[in-house]
Structure 1
Amino acid sequence: MARIVISENVSVDGVVEVGDGFDRGDWYGRIGATDREAWAKLEYDEALGADALLLGRRTYEWFGARGWPSRSGAWADRLRELPKYVVAGETDLGRWANSTVLTGPVTEAVTALKREVRGEIVVYGSGRLARALLAAELVDELRLVTYPFVVGAGERLFGATDAVRSLGLADTRTVGENLALLTYRPA
């Protein structure tokens, strides 16, 4: 059975997505070259360890709009070869090879996917999907790359919850000079 791993970039105050023109790419642009190199290596290594990607529609389209389906380089090649499962209603899958839309209720579709895939299914971005998976207790690991700034407002990974869910800290690591990777697993 596969393990669901949520991999998120998050501000110190817990924001994963900000509206009004400040998107994920802006996070990367606000850190220094050493941090960018270390972050890119971390992401590439994570992709090497993944057996599949699970994405929400907006994140899938975000990758497509930034040219990832046709980029060159080892990281882009690895993402292109990985099976990609998209939780979406209407999405143009023609952009990125090895992409499949999951149908039906999200929790049922992801539960079935966990039975089919072996190894790690990594969820990049996809805040709404990540929250749904967390609420359904389908997440096996959280990897939070914490960026050294406070955003103040925006979409958070953890919103209102119906119950306290305990997590255990599995690992901490400095990435570059200013980023922190915090890895949690359900307690």
Structure 2
Amino acid sequence: MRRIVTTHWVSLDGFISGPDDDMSFVGRTFDERMGEYQGQIIEGRDVLLLGRRTYDSFAGAWPQRAVADDTAPEERAYAQRLGAMRKVVVSSTLTDPEWEHTEVWPELTRERVDALKAEDGGDVLVYGSGRLVSALTDLGAVDEYQTLLQPVVLGGGTRQLGGVDGRTDLELVRAETFPSGVVLLVHRPEAPAAD
């Protein structure tokens, strides 16, 4: 059975992007260890589950990086791996995705998520996609949250888990500080208490 694993770059004040979807804060802390993390996070995963805005951002960049002459070898390998992965986009407006291996779900339903998780294969990876992760959290479908806590305060933007309807108790299973000051926090939902 597949697991759903999320990864977010998050400011100290809880935002995954700044005002106007600004992500420039990430470039300031992107170093060799962050590059290693990005390579490791896709190992053992063969499905990307993305919201529309994250999909558009990825589809607008990674296919080109996979073939551009000025792409570093590690970045090219990463871009090619993303291109080869199955991509599932939750969108009510996307009708003709151009990035290879992409399918569209017009809405997120428990039945679709359960069927995806029941398939054989590697884990499902969700990058960013704040509203999607909030909806998956409400469904109790997220098996692991990987948060890259950035040493910055943004003061506004898109919240990491804005709009979640209820409480989910989590267990910290790993923490690592990168040389750049980024702290990787890996949480999993706590097992329900025995009666």
Tell me the equivalent position of 1:45: 40
Cα shift readout 1:123-151 (whole Å, capped 9, x = no counterpart): 00100000000111100000001110111
Task: Say whether the 8 Å CA contact 1:9–1:125 is kept in structure 2.
Answer: yes
Q: Is 2:180 the counterpart of 1:180?
A: no
| Contact kept? 2:130, 2:161, Cα under 8 Å | no
TM-score with structure 1 setting the length: 0.88
Q: Report the residue type matching 1:171 in the other structure.
A: R
* 1:10-29 equivalence runs, <5 A: 10-20=10-20, 23-24=22-23, 26-29=24-27
Code of the aligned partner of 1:123: V
Identity of aligned residues (%): 39
Q: 1:30 aligns with which of 28, 34, 43?
A: 28
Deviations 1:160-182 (A, max 9, x none): 54432110001001223311100
Q: How does 1:159-174 map to 2 (within 5 A)?
A: 159-174=162-177
Residues of 2 paired with 1:59 and 1:161: CA distance? 19
- Measure, in 2, the Cα distance between the counterparts of 1:27 and 1:106: 33
CA distance in 1 between counterparts of 2:138 and 2:178 reads 29
Match of 1:54 among 49, 58, 64: 49
Aligned in 2, Cα 1:153/1:119: closer, same or farther, shift over 3 Å?
A: same
Aligned to 2:123: 120
The equivalent of 2:7 in structure 1 is 7
Query: Aligned-residue CA RMSD in angstroms?
Result: 1.7
* Alignment partners' CA distance in 2, 1:117 and 1:38: 31
TM-score, normalization by structure 2: 0.85
Q: How many residues are paired up? A: 180
Q: Which runs of 5+ in 2 are unaligned?
A: 67-75, 191-195
> Which amino acid in 1 is paired with 2:28?
R
* More helix as a share of residues: 1
Q: 1:116 to 1:97 in 2, by over 3 A?
A: same
Which residue does 2:73 correspond to in 1?
Answer: none
- Greater Cα radius of gyration, structure 1 or 2: 2
